[in-house]
Chains A and B, each alone.
Chain A
Amino acid sequence: MTTPTVKDTALAPAALALGDDALVLSHRLGEWAGNAPVLEEEVALANIALDLLGQARMLLSMVGDEDELAFLREERAFRNLQLVEQPNGDFAHTIARQLYFSVYQHLLHTQLADGDGPFAALAAKAVKETAYHRDHAEQWTLRLGDGTEVSHDRMQQAANALWRYTGEMFQPVEGLDIDWTALQTAWLEQIEDVLRRATLSVPEGPRTGAWSAGAGRQGLHTEPFGRMLAEMQHLHRSHPGASW
Chain B
Amino acid sequence: MTTTDWPLWEVFVRSRRGLSHTHAGSLHAPDAELALRNARDLYTRRGEGVSIWVVPSSAITASSPDEKDPFFEPTADKPYRHPTFYEIPEGVQHL
B55 is an interface residue with CB less than 8 A from chain A: no
A182 is an interface residue with CB less than 8 A from chain B: no
Interface size of B by CB at 8 A reads 16
B38 is an interface residue with CB less than 8 A from chain A: yes
Interface residues of A in 2-53 (CB under 8 A from B): 37-41, 43-44, 47
**In the complex, are the beta carbons of A38 and B42 less than 8 A apart?**
no
A136 is an interface residue with CB less than 8 A from chain B: yes
Looking at the assembled complex, report how far the CB atom of A49 sits from the nearest CB atom of chain B, in whole angstroms: 12
Q: Which residues of chain B are near A139, meaning CB under 8 Å?
A: 33-34, 37
Contact indicator per residue, chain A 192-222, by CB within 8 Å of chain B (1) or not (0): 0000000000000000000000000000000
Bound together, the chains give a CA A136 to CA B4 distance in angstroms of: 20
**In the complex, are the beta carbons of B42 and A40 less than 8 A apart?**
yes
**In the complex, are the beta carbons of B38 and A44 less than 8 A apart?**
yes
The chain B residue sitting closest to A136, CB to CB, is: B37
Q: Which residues of chain B are near A39, meaning CB under 8 Å?
A: 1, 28
The chain A residue sitting closest to B40, CB to CB, is: A132
User: Which residues of A are interface residues toward B (Cβ below 8 A)?
Assistant: 37-41, 43-44, 47, 135-136, 139, 143
